[in-house]
Amino acid sequence: MSGIIRSASQLGKRILRAYLDRSAAHTYGAFYSKVREIHGKDSLAHPAEGEEEWLARWATIGMPAEREAYRLWAPLTAPERRMDIVPPTPCNRIIERILNPAEYAHYYEDKNMLDRIFGRENTAGTLLHCIDGYFYDADYRPLPTPQRGEELELQGLFASTPKIIVKPAVDSYGGKGIKVYELRGAQYHTLDGKETLDAAMLMSGFGRDFIVQPFMGQHAFYASLNKSSVNAFRIVCYRSVADQQTHLVSSILRIGAPNDALGSITSGSRYIGVTPDGHLARTTMDFWGVTKDLVNGIDFGEREIRIPDYEKVKEFTIRMSERVPHMRLFSWDIAVDEGGIPKIIELNLTGFSTDMAQFCGMPALGPFAGEVIQHCRARQPKFLLNLRY
């Protein structure tokens, strides 16, 4: 009987995996359709040099790569690096799940846990944790949690902080569910003045798990790119399966749109590639890879711009990655405060995005694609029998 149950369980896992594989492929099918709409219907129609070799290489991890990915990013990538372009669907369905075990990932991603794991001195600071519907202060000490209909004096709770940001503890991609408020008189209002934050809104508008933080002041260099938003890096690090060393494999800098407080790509912000020595690329991108040199009055095509103290940002990000031993692939949002100190905004370990780095000509795994393919190929039989979703 136990053999029958085990076989049924394995069959169920394979059926579920096939369903999720098709779902992931459909997601990126919609992405490529939008790319065709924006860049022209023939933009992905023609094979690129090296395409068949690339497809054969990535097929060895157990899931076919979508050829549209190579056709999209090969023209933007140096010829010697094109075999390392990472196909998004196999990355999300196989690579991510082998490198970053799902049973641990969500704990590390939870914004309420960042202070505890990495230390408050390394984050943007906290005014309030709400965990499973209960309030805690910045030191995780329990606070009275208001009951339905009960008033709450927010100005005192948030220590009269002039500007705050409220974020869901998880699943806030693209700024989803995030709101910024500023103190006007004795109440907190959204920047457009249309919404007032009160106890009812705080308890019902952000779910049972959220965090309230001071709106972070940023270093003058980043403020010069856009003052209204915190212009943060998206930095990817990889802890090698070959030598256990942590490497920075790609870095981009988001630049907010004027008067936009969130600075997310989906709210009109743009991003720009960062070279290993800290120079900004000569053009910016939007979510779909459309380039633009002149942004916020700065012509990136005409100026060579070097980020101050970029080595400090790199060292910080690698050091923070080394505090997460269960994981190998890290996608960090890092900002630099007014004093020039790097701070953690967010850590992403699931839903790994290959797009932004590869639009900037940087393969998403840097020069480590070969060893990742080999590692996933070796782990594949165990992975197929031990799926966790």
Q: How far apart are the first and last CA of the chain?
A: 26
Same-domain status, 88 and 131: no
Q: Would 205 be classed as within a structural domain?
A: yes
Task: Measure the CA–CA gap between 350 and 367, rounded to whole angstroms.
Answer: 21
Task: Measure the CA–CA gap between 135 and 132, rounded to whole angstroms.
Answer: 9
pLDDT in tens, 33-85: 999 999 999 999 999 999 999 999 999 999 999 999 999 999 999 999 999 99
Q: Would 291 be classed as within a structural domain?
A: no
How many domains is the chain partitioned into structurally? 2
Please, what is the average pLDDT of the chain?
A: 90
Of 115, 84, 134, 123, nearest to 364 (Cα)? 84
pLDDT at 147: 74
Query: pLDDT grade, residue 388 (50/70/90)?
Result: very low
Helix ranges restricted to H, the chain: 2-39, 51-59, 67-73, 88-90, 96-99, 102-109, 114-118, 154-157, 199-204, 220-223, 310-321, 355-359, 369-385
Handedness of CA 349, 82, 356, 60 (dihedral sign): negative
Last residue of a domain, one of 214, 245, 276: 214
Query: Are the C-beta atoms of 181 and 164 separated by less than 8 Å?
Result: yes
Same-domain status, 27 and 96: yes
Same-domain status, 55 and 133: no
Last residue of a domain, one of 145, 179, 214: 214
Q: Which amino acid is at 181?
A: Y
pLDDT in tens, 352-379: 989 999 999 999 999 999 999 999 999 8
Query: pLDDT grade, residue 253 (50/70/90)?
Result: very high
Last residue of a domain, one of 160, 194, 214: 214
Q: Would 23 be classed as within a structural domain?
A: yes
What is the percent of the chain where pLDDT is above 70? Answer: 90
Query: pLDDT grade, residue 155 (50/70/90)?
Result: confident
- Tokens of residue 143, six digits: 């606070």
Q: Would 113 be classed as within a structural domain?
A: no
What range defines the domain where residue 184 resides?
126-214
Phi, psi torsion values for 286, nearest 5 degrees: -105, -175
What is the percent of the chain where pLDDT is above 90? Answer: 78
